Chain A
Amino acid sequence: MTAFAPYIEYARKAFAREATYRIELLAEIGSVVLRVYLLRSLWTALYAHNMAPMGLPLHAMITYATVAMLMSLVLEVDGTRVIREKLREGGIALDLMKPIVVPFAYFSDGLGQTMVHALAILPSLLFSLLLVHIDVPSAATLAAFLLSFALGYGVNFFVNFLMNGVAFWTLETFGLQLIVRWISDLLSGQILPLAFFPGWFGRAVFALPFAAIYSTPLLIYIGIIPPRQWATALVVQAAWLVATASASFLLWRAAARHVVVQGG
Chain B
Amino acid sequence: MLAAYLQYWKINLLTMVEYRTDFFMWLGFTIVYHGTALAALAVTMMRFPSMNGWNLREMFFLYALWMTAHELHNALFYNVVYVPEYIREGRFDRFFVRPFDTLFQVLTVPSRTFPDGFILGCVTLAIATAAAGIHVTALTILVMAAVVCGGAGIDLGISLFVASLSFWLIRVDTLRWAVMSLEQDFTRYPISIYTRAVRVVLAYVLPFAFMNYFPASYLLGKHDTAFGLSPEVGLLTPLIGLLWSGISYVFWRIGLNRYQGTGS
Contact = CB atoms under 8 A, between A and B. Distances in A.
Nearest to B39: A186
Main DSSP-derived SS at the A contact region? helix
Given A24-B174, A49-B52, A182 B33 contact: yes
Given A38-B185, A183-B36, A46 B48 contact: yes
A41 B193 contact: yes
A186 B44 contact: no
Interface stretch (A115-123, A154-162, A190-198): A190-198
A178 B185 contact: no
A30 interface: yes
Contacts of A178: 29, 33
Main DSSP-derived SS at the B contact region? helix
A42 interface: yes
A45 B52 contact: yes
B130 interface: no
Interface in A26-73: 27, 30-31, 34-35, 37-38, 41-42, 44-47, 49-50, 53
B51 interface: yes
B36 A196 contact: no
B48 A186 contact: no
Q: Looking at B47, B50, B177, B189, which has the most chain A CB atoms within 10 Å of its CB?
A: B47
A170 to B, nearest CB: 11
Given A23-B171, A175-B29, A45 B47 contact: no
Contacts of A185: 36
What interface size band does chain B fall in? 20 to 34
Contacts of B186: 38
A100 interface: no
A22 B248 CA distance: 30
Nearest to B47: A196
Contacts of B221: none
Contacts of B53: 49
B164 to A, nearest CB: 20
Contacts of A186: 36, 39-40
B224 to A, nearest CB: 15
A243 interface: no
B194 interface: yes
B181 interface: yes
Contacts of B25: 175
B193 A42 contact: yes
Contacts of A179: 28-29, 32
Contacts of B194: 41
B43 interface: yes
B40 A192 contact: yes
Given A179-B29, A182-B32, 5 more contacts: A24-B174, A45-B52, A49-B51, A50-B47, A186-B39
10 contacts: A27-B177, A34-B178, A38-B185, A42-B193, A45-B189, A49-B52, A179-B29, A179-B32, A182-B36, A186-B39
Interface of B: 25-26, 28-29, 32-33, 36, 39-40, 43-44, 46-53, 171, 174, 177-178, 181-182, 185-186, 189, 192-195, 198
Interface of A: 23-24, 27, 30-31, 34-35, 37-38, 41-42, 44-47, 49-50, 53, 175, 178-179, 182-183, 185-186, 191-192, 196-198
